[in-house]
Amino acid sequence: MLKFMENKESTLDVAFVDVGLYFDIVRFLGNHKDKISGDELTTLHIVSGAYLLKEDVKRKVILDALDIIARYEGAHQAVSVSDFDPDDLALIESALANPAPDDPTARAIAERIKEAMGRYWRQAETQGRAPTELILVRPKTALDDVACRLFLQAIADTLGHKLTIVWVDDLPREAAQPVD
């Protein structure tokens, strides 16, 4: 979704908007323009305008635009795994081979990858660099496994090298307590 440009500060500071995000914003504004605040509308116009003018923008602005879209559409467009069997590998591979916008399996894969990418790039922004070591929860379904593999391959391709992955069965839900 984001293609990074070199600059003197950091390769993660500035990015340009791709056509997919531009059309996501246009579609989003068509559905939600009357529901969002003036500041949110301004952010979305800055990002879509940057695409039209072929200008780069701060990554933070792009992430803000993605957060706005996710906040308003997340609950409305989420795919329920009850729409299909998340362990039906043949169904998942079929959805990958012939993706259709109305296919709940293809949409579920895309949502999981988009969610993982968002978390990854927010972590990159926090660290000031693209993480090369990740702690991930081991996928529990074939759907999660496929989406995770596609996500990791996309990151490795973007970075140009392999990632180090530490698989865990579950992440702790409570804050860590100091050891006496």
Spans of all domains in the chain = 1-77, 101-180
Q: What is the pLDDT of residue 80?
A: 57
Q: What is the pLDDT of residue 88?
A: 92
d(CA 33, CA 141): 36
Buried b (16+ CB within 10 A) or exposed e, 135-144: eeeebeebbb
Domain 101-180 has CATH 3.30.2320: yes
* Burial class for 109, CB neighbours closer than 10 Å (0-12, 13-18, 19+): buried
Q: What is the pLDDT of residue 22?
A: 77
Look at residues 65, 21, 17, 59 and name the one whose alpha carbon lies nearest to residue 41: 65
Per-position pLDDT tens, the chain of length 180: 344 333 344 444 556 666 777 778 888 888 888 888 888 888 888 888 877 777 777 777 777 787 788 777 754 455 555 678 889 999 999 888 887 767 888 888 888 888 888 788 778 877 888 888 888 889 999 999 999 998 888 888 878 878 888 888 876 666 556 665
Q: What is the pLDDT of residue 75?
A: 46
Count the neighbouring beta carbons within 10 Å of the beta carbon of residue 61.
16
d(CA 113, CA 154): 10
Provide the H-helix boundaries in 11-141. Answer: 19-32, 38-53, 59-77, 89-97, 104-127
Cα 77 to chain centroid, rounded: 15
Strands 56-58 and 164-168: unpaired
Q: How far is CA 146 from CA 63, 104, 160, 166, 171, in A?
A: 25, 15, 21, 17, 20
Q: What is the pLDDT of residue 7?
A: 37
Grouping H, G, I as helix, E, B as strand and the rest as coil, residue 119 is helix
- Phi and psi at 15, nearest 5°, equal -145, 165
